[in-house]
Amino acid sequence: MGTEGDDCRVIAGRYRLEARIGRGGMGVVWRATDQLLGRRVAVKELALEASRSGEDARLRSDRTLREARAVAQLRHPHIIVVHDVVEDGERPYIVMELIDGGSLADRIAERGPVDAAEAARIGIDLLSALRTAHEAGVLHRDIKPANVLVESGTERVVLTDFGIARVAGATTLTETGSFVGSPEYTAPERMSEARTGPESDLWSVGALLCAVLSGESPFRRDSIGGILHAVVAAEIRPPAQAEPLLPVVRGLLERDPDRRLNAAEAEGMLRTFLETGRTPQPPATPYTPTQRDIPRQTPPPPSAPAPVGRSVRGVLIAALLVAAVAGAGVSAAALLIHGGSGDGGGTPTSPAPGTSASTSASPAPTVTVTRGAATSPAAADSHTAPSGYRLARDPAGFSLAVPEGFTRDPQGERVFYMSPGQTVRLGIRATVPQTGGPLGVMRRADVKGPDTNPGYHDGRVTRTTHHGHPAALWEFTWKGFSTAEGPRHTYDMCWEEDGRMYDVWVSAPVGKVREAREYFDVAVDTFLPT
């Protein structure tokens, strides 16, 4: 079914739009015909924001096309096939395979919840798809029943809208406090913008499993404020129907992303359930706290909140704020604190290994980052390295904590500290302040991202502060400088301090993104000019 177009117009000289089959915040989906190949396709016509300047709209369009092309490289039976990415009249369109069937949300609405075996099958298919995507450095960011299609006749589960919610510039919270995306399925670390990684997609799968088993997300409430509070602070109560799969659901709905089940673990547990009919047990090797989970700050005064581990700090800050305003509706969203995930692009110059120049076209609201040990004067004065790190007093005029075993490798005006084998690279650069400050530097760098970092995608720049100084964070994924190197992820922060501009970044293989984030956090937290 669908609404017929007024003129069955043809875009890009090839695709005839015939009937509207869906509409959402991202735009309109059409049933169409590829006149060149004579096949039926689905075409997503992405919405343009009239409030944006021509240059901003152009940058957003470029990012959308760039990211959609990255998704088009994915090949998996449970990921929608992207055939083409085109522009027509300055509007971007994404051409995809046409799935004969409705969404999982439609199926639940029409037929009701599914049983545990069917939920396990759906979960296995989605987790398998996500493993392929995550290995390629691509995140979904908006997994929900409406974005999962079920093919008629075969019951094949297909994950669609892959990456589109993010690439079109939609952040979790807008500057006005409105929610962009699907809050009932959004991980708590994304709510606080503390980090966004593969773990966030896995939380969404956990919420989706609850929805297909019971008919609704366990975080559904009457207001945005209520949903936010349910996600980041309230007790998580999976529905009774989830009992056969409870260890999987609880493992995916673990608020600390470092303790959350990974895709392979969850998929294996669901397969065990299908094969045996018995409730699967958690992985044999339980999570063991490490030194990095132990707060490094000295105890605060009684009136201050107790310090927490790095991986949950942003979430708990968000929880405190949301709890205080949960009844205030949408305005509660505006009070959440960004936790500092992002890429800081450094000054735009020729790239060195592990860094690049780039900027984000997304508007960057001012945020405050609560990070680690050096965020308080007392911690900065002590300037000690946590366990597993050493304090490097660099002759270039700074000191910071670097992982033990990393060796110094100066390259012109940049200084690198390399892991054994140089697979992880920690870089530092000091320059004079640049036009537009840290945010301007990062935004200009992001524009050049595809030129300086092969396969650049998922770039994001956020305005923030570092020890009270203006700063910007940049985060992105790319293919690496060689096939042998493989896909990489980069965290980067740039800030101004005492008349100088500093840039600190960490680049690592996508499979080591957790370690990279810790190395980055520790480096930034402990950095001091000397």
Residues 6+ positions from 269 with CB-CB distance below 8 Å: 247, 248, 251, 261, 280, 281, 282, 283
The amino acid that residue 191 corresponds to is M
How many other C-beta atoms lie within 10 A of the C-beta of residue 258? 20
CA dist 189 and 103 (Å) reads 27
Which part of the chain has CATH 3.40.1000.10?
373-529
CA dist 282 and 264 (Å) reads 12
96 within 8 A of 199, measured Cβ to Cβ: no
Number of DSSP helices (H) and strands (E) in the chain, helices first? 14, 19
pLDDT at res. 240: 92
Identify the CATH number of the domain defined by range 373-529: 3.40.1000.10
215 within 8 A of 107, measured Cβ to Cβ: no
Beta strand 15-24 pairing with 3-4: antiparallel
- Residue 39 DSSP label: E
CA dist 291 and 313 (Å) reads 16
Which helix (H) or strand (E) element contains residue 515? helix 513-526
SS3 call for 530: coil
Q: How far is CA 509 from CA 429, 476, 481, 490, 515, in A?
A: 21, 12, 11, 9, 10
Q: Which among 339, 364, 396, 337 has a CA at the least distance from the CA of 530?
A: 396
Q: Which among 517, 288, 520 has a CA at the least distance from the CA of 401?
A: 520
This prediction has a pTM of: 0.56
Q: Which among 148, 268, 165 has a CA at the least distance from the CA of 208?
A: 148
pLDDT at res. 67: 65
Count CA atoms within 13 Å of residue 387 on its CB side.
7
Return per-residue pLDDT of the chain as tens, 530 residues. 444 444 579 999 999 999 998 876 567 899 999 999 999 999 988 876 554 556 666 666 666 676 677 778 888 999 999 998 888 887 889 999 999 988 999 999 999 999 999 999 999 999 999 999 998 888 888 899 999 999 998 999 999 887 554 433 333 333 333 444 588 999 998 887 667 789 999 999 999 999 999 999 999 998 888 898 899 888 899 999 999 999 999 999 999 999 999 999 999 999 999 999 988 888 764 444 333 333 333 333 334 333 333 334 444 444 444 443 443 333 333 333 233 333 333 333 333 333 333 333 333 333 333 333 333 333 333 467 888 899 999 999 999 999 999 999 998 889 999 999 889 999 999 999 999 999 999 999 999 888 888 888 888 898 888 888 999 999 998 888 777 778 899 999 999 998 999 999 999 998 888 888 899 999 999 999 98
Residues 6+ positions from 419 with CB-CB distance below 8 Å: 403, 405, 406, 425
Three-state SS string over 280-307 comes to: CCCCCCCCCCCHHHCCCCCCCCCCCCCC
CA angle 242, 245, 248 (to 5 degrees): 115
CA dist 59 and 447 (Å) reads 8
Q: Which among 267, 269, 263 has a CA at the least distance from the CA of 283?
A: 269
CA dist 503 and 493 (Å) reads 6
- 492 classed as catalytic: no
Which part of the chain has CATH 3.30.200.20?
3-97
CA dist 3 and 1 (Å) reads 7
Find the distance separating the first CA and the last CA of the chain, reported in whole Å: 67
122 within 8 A of 114, measured Cβ to Cβ: yes
Q: Give the pair of three-digit tokens for residue 53.
A: 């300047």
CA dist 309 and 295 (Å) reads 5
Please provide residue 510's backbone torsions phi and psi, each rounded to the nearest 5 degrees: -60, -25
Catalytic residue among 62, 84, 115, 142: 142
pLDDT at res. 318: 44
CA dist 270 and 118 (Å) reads 10
376 within 8 A of 299, measured Cβ to Cβ: no
pLDDT at res. 416: 95
CA dist 403 and 398 (Å) reads 16
Which part of the chain has CATH 1.10.510.10?
104-276
> 């110059």: which residue's tokens?
349
Paired with 84 in beta bridges are 95
Q: Which among 266, 306, 259 has a CA at the least distance from the CA of 282?
A: 266
SS3 call for 322: helix
> 């005492």: which residue's tokens?
498
493 within 8 A of 503, measured Cβ to Cβ: yes
Buried/exposed code over 417-447 (b: 16+ C-beta within 10 A; e: otherwise): bbbeeebbbbbbbbeeebeebbbbbbbbbbb
Q: H-type helices in 285-354, by residue range?
A: 310-325
Identify the CATH number of the domain defined by range 104-276: 1.10.510.10
pLDDT at res. 308: 33
Domain spanning 3-97, CATH architecture? 2-Layer Sandwich (3.30)
Q: How far is CA 517 from CA 48, 141, 195, 258, in A?
A: 34, 19, 9, 11
Q: How far is CA 430 from CA 115, 151, 341, in A?
A: 58, 55, 21
